[in-house]
Structure 1
């Protein structure tokens, strides 16, 4: 005979906010065993303290946590359990974001008219260019277009441009088939980021512009839609055209400066002295192989601004065009097209 203080499966299900069938399922899964099972009838009975575990199990299922993870959660301490919740929320958020992006791109492609062929590019080269340019985007609620990438197609080249107001990067590519006509539009950066893995695996990618999307057709004929943003992209051409004259030109080895920056502090000095470049890292001076023109000069940069601009450069050599301690510096490199990046110095580091 069952303990009179125990609850039947029906009463327990009501107290825990679950169904009787769900309780049977969790029993079979080993997550919530009954306190007692009648050996003759097979009826399950539960105790009052088990309501807390059952309610927690229900809440975990409401956030989509898989059964194996729930088992680990129920056996974990508070710190580990909190981490498992955070991991699940992050997973759900990523899945939701992916669904929202796919739905938005699909809606944008509806009732779209004829597409304009913009050219054909090697998939791995286009994917690398997207990675390089996306590093200069930012999520700004006041200026959402800064999360986008400006694509411009001309008869001789296709360019990708992005800016976060502290940096500006432009990558130019030469298509194997030139665009049918000039075209420009701003692409949703998150859509581009989602498709880079597919682009990287395709020998060729055909770019086709529609009214609401840019379509990327890979070698297996799969088409991915990247939404076009309606906000006005900053007039970067005016910015570039209004830059003052270059006063110093520094040529250095890419690998050497990136290696030195691996142990760099938050702020880095770039010094030109006697025709030689060097880095100032806290109390350490690191001589760089290369050349430098112009009088002695020291500029300071935030690591978070300078390192991405250098790490996404092309080829073995970098050219830095300097204009003074309070003017944008240009990082230039060339290989399978060219990459042009503007980097803003920061105030001088305290001595």
Structure 2
């Protein structure tokens, strides 16, 4: 009677599935035997079931849930939808797993350390604080201040998608790997208002920061690669007295058109034909944050971003992104 049928062991070998899996798939309705002997309980399969068995084996190795297996076998014409959904799920799981591995690597890594002067650190906080934004779905880290320690430089970064501010703090006795940590703005605000020693240690862990004797948990969340946004080196710049620039901008409207002609700066309200301008309030913030008698202004042709730097500290910069004017 069973000469044309396959035993469960034979199907297991032909289909690449263990016998225990075939018993499970029988119980769950994924792949039922063609015949079960009522006396012995032995399961028997047809030769046509070898292909479904191989398909089940492949899909299970790919991690497809049992419910989706049933859907594929019952309606092969809709299999592409099920498989695409599973591919997306695998990608999401991989991204999450990589993030967890990065967190684990950070916890295992040695912290980065340095010593900074308190007044330099407080000044850097003031230079970037105005540009700190609110968290959003894509960049939750924008709600914090990025502390980037790499070698002999500690950079503080604030960004709200419309502007970027970067301030550098000289460091002594640096040690450990390069690290980027998000500091809560409230922690830095309290730090700048406190009575601090003239200098002290900064220790940056991936999930914790210790600054001049005070400790805070780091914020979680992705942060943009700010270095890609910085003006390219050698970009032509025009220098202007901060007071004169502030006076010219204060009397302007909400949007200012900025033109750089050689070493000269021209500020004007938008005129017919102008396509780009800059927020007056953002420009004033950048000038004040520079904390310098003279500032250097530059325009990045690629992004049309307006850079404002202290004339004597070009590594510190405030970037103001353009506003598209009505044509």
Deviations 1:249-292 (A, max 9, x none): 32211121112223332112223458632222589xxxxxxxxx
Q: Give the whole-Å Cα distance in 2 for the aligned partners of 1:210 and 1:161.
A: 17
**Residue 145 of structure 1 corresponds to which residue in structure 2?**
141
Runs of 4+ in 1 over 4 A off after TM superposition: 112-115, 243-246, 334-337
State whether residues 203 and 210 of structure 2, in contact with CA within 8 Å, keep that contact through their aligned partners in structure 1.
yes
Q: 2:203 is matched with which residue: 194, 202, 208? A: 208
Shift of 1:208: 1.3
Is 1:278 the counterpart of 2:266 in the alignment? yes
CA change 1:157–1:204 in 2 (3 A) is same
Say if 2:135 is the partner of 1:134: no
Q: CA deviation at 1:167?
A: 0.8
Where do residues 83-232 of structure 1 align in structure 2 (5 Å cutoff)?
116=111, 118-142=113-137, 143-198=139-194, 201-217=196-212, 223-232=213-222
Q: In structure 2, do the counterparts of structure 1 residues 117 and 232 end up closer, same or farther at CA, with 3 Å as the change threshold?
A: closer
Q: Extract unaligned runs of 5+ from structure 2.
A: 1-106
Cα distance 1:319–1:264, how it changes in 2: closer, same or farther (>3 A)? same
Q: How far, CA to CA, are the matches of 1:132 and 1:270 in structure 2?
A: 22
CA separation in 1, counterparts of 2:178 and 2:302? 38
Equivalent residue for 1:321, pick from 295, 298, 312 = 298
The equivalent of 1:262 in structure 2 is 250
Aligned length: 218
For residues 314 and 240 of structure 2, the distance between their equivalents in structure 1, rounded to whole angstroms, comes to: 19
For the residue of structure 1 that corresponds to 2:214, the secondary structure is strand
Separation in 2, partners of 1:153, 1:160: 9
Question: Equivalent residue of 1:202, what SS?
Answer: coil
Tell me, yes or no, if the aligned pair for 1:154 and 1:179 is still in contact at 8 Å.
no
Relative to the length of structure 2, the TM-score reads 0.58
SS in 2 for 1:190: helix
SS at match of 2:253: coil
Match of 2:98?
Answer: none
* Alpha-carbon distance in 2 for matches of 1:122, 1:337: 20
Structure with max Cα Rg: 2
State TM-score, norm by structure 1. 0.54
Q: Which moved more, 1:305-314 or 1:180-189?
A: 180-189
**Cα gap change, 1:115/1:347 in structure 2, threshold over 3 Å: closer, same or farther?**
same
User: By how many angstroms is 1:224 displaced?
Assistant: 1.6
Take 1:215 and 1:132, find their aligned partners in 2: how far apart are those partners? Answer: 20
SS, match of residue 164 in structure 2: strand
Q: 1:195 to 1:274 in 2, by over 3 A?
A: closer
| Matches of 2:285 and 2:264, distance apart in 1 | 23
1:341 aligns to 2:318 (yes or no) = yes
RMSD over aligned CA atoms reads: 3.3
Gaps of 5+ in 1: 1-111, 218-222, 284-296
Map residues 5-154 of structure 1 onto 2, 5 A cutoff. 116=111, 118-142=113-137, 143-154=139-150
